[in-house]
Amino acid sequence: MSGLALVWNLMFGAWCFAARPPNILLILSDDQGYADLGCQGSKDILTPHIDSLAKHGVRFTNGYISSPVCSPSRAGLLAGRGGTRFGIELNPGFSHTVGLPPSERTMAEYLQAAGYKTGIFGKWHLGFPAKMRPTARGFDEFFGFLAGAHSYTQAAGDHDPANVILRGTEKVRSITYLTDDLGREAVAFIDKNRDEPWFVYLAFNAPHGPFEATEKYKARFPDLPDGRRTIAAMIAAMDDNVGAVLAKLREHKREDNTLIFFLSDNGAPRQGGSNQPFRGLKAQLLEGGIRIPFIAQWKGKLPAGKVDDRPVISLDILPTVLAAANLPIPEHLDGVNLLPYLTGEKANAPARALCWRYSPQRAIRVGDWKLLQTGKKTELFHLATDIGEKTNLAGKEPAKVKELEAAYQQWNARNRGGRAGQRKEDAAPVTVHGVDARSAEPPRGSGVTVHSPVEDFP
C-alpha cells in the first residue's frame, strides 16, 4: 500500500469513527434516596464511580421522576410519556397480565430501528406477557427479571415461579450476587458490540428490597448500623459495577462518544435510605418521593462539573437521546430535548409545568411553586424558600392555588381517567391495572414492601 493510500485509509477510518452515532448508556437505580450518593452529599456511602459522572458531566439538583413508584416511572422513562397517558398509574401488584402497552414505542425500539445493538440488564417490571417482554420491545438481549423485586443470591423466582432470572427467554439456573452479575453482563455486551453503536439499559434493582448484601461490600461500612450498613453495601456494589462499565468504555476509547444518564426510579422508602433534605418517601408526591439523583455525562459535548438547578424530568431523556442520535423526535412525547439547554444554546429553563398523578395524590410544579393535593387536603409550597415543604401557603395565596389547579386540570385532561374527555371504563384510576395496589399484599417472607399511596410523614 502506498504512503498516500495509507494516509487516506487512516483519515477515512478516523472520519467513520467520529461520525458514528453516540452510544447510549442509561443507568437506573431502584428506590435510591436523593442523598445516597457522595456527589449528593452523603458522608457515609462512598460512590466514586457514579460521582465521576457528575465530575465530568452535569448534576441536576431539581431532577424528577414521573412517578413515585417503580413500574409507572420505568414506563415513562422508556416511552417518553407519563404512565397516566396510557393507563400505568400504579404498580401492578402481583398481576401477570398487565404492563407497558405495545402501542407505546420504547427507547430501545427507536434505537434498534436506527441500527443500534440494544441490551437490558436488570429489572423490567413492565409486563410478563410475551408481547410485553424486553425482547419484544426493542431489546436484542435481556438478562434480568420481569417483576418488581428479586433475590440477589437466588436465581429462582422467590415466591413467584414465573419471576426467575432470564437470559432472553431462557431460565438462568444460578447467580452469584445479582448486582455483580448485571454489571458483568453489561460489560460483556459492550465488549461484544464495541464496533457498532449500542444502547445499554442497566436497570439495577439495588438498593430495592430484599435487603441483601455480601460481606465483601458490608466490610466497607463497619461502623454503620445494620439497616444503613446493608443499604450502603448494596449501593457500593452498584457503584463498583458502574465503574466496571466505565472502565470498559475507556478501554475501547468510547467514553467521549457515549451519552450517559444516571438516575433513580423514585425516592427511598422508610428502610435505610435518605431523601434529605426533602420531606416524603417513595409512593408520595412530596419531594422525597419524586426528586431523585439525576446526572448526565457526554464528554466533550456537555459541560464538565456543572451543577444545574433547572427542573428536569425523566421524560426528557428519550427526546434527548433521539436528538443525540440525530433521529426525529415524535411530537407526542411529553419531555423536551435537553441538549440545547445543556450546551448553553438556551439559557433559561424549559417553559412548562411538571405534573404528577398517583391516586389519590396529584401535584404540579411551575417555576418555584408546587401545588400538592391529597384527597381533600391542598398544600402550596414555594420550593426556592421551603425545600422541605413545611409551610403551606395555600391560605395566603389563593390566586396561585387557582392558577396551578387550572394548569393541572389542563394536563390531566389528556390522561386516561382525566376529568375532561374521560371514558367510562377509565373512571377509576386506582384500578387502571385491574389491581388495587393500595390493598395488595406480598407473600409472607418475600422481603417485598407494598407502599400505600398515602403515608403520613411528620
* Count of residues making up the chain: 458
Q: Residues 147-166, buried b or exposed e (16+ Cβ, 10 A)?
A: bbbbbbeebbbbbbeebbbb
Residues 56, 70, 208, 451: which is the catalytic one? 70
Question: Is 355 marked active-site?
Answer: no
Residue of 116, 140, 142, 139 lying closest to 324 (CA atoms): 116
Rounded alpha-carbon distances, angstroms, from residue 339 to 4, 321, 373: 39, 9, 33
d(CA 403, CA 275): 29
The residue assigned the cell 449500542 is 198
Residue of 132, 157, 119, 212 lying closest to 165 (CA atoms): 157
Contact in structure between 432 and 87 (CB atoms under 8 Å):
yes
Question: Is 56 marked active-site?
Answer: no
Tell me 220's DSSP state: T
Q: Angle 15-21-22 (CA atoms, 0-180°, nearest 5)?
A: 115
d(CA 273, CA 132): 31
Contact in structure between 12 and 187 (CB atoms under 8 Å):
no
Residues 39, 49, 56, 125: which is the catalytic one? 125
The residue assigned the cell 445479582 is 178
Q: Where are the alpha helices (DSSP H) in 22-171?
A: 48-55, 70-79, 107-113
d(CA 296, CA 259): 7
List the catalytic residues: 70, 125
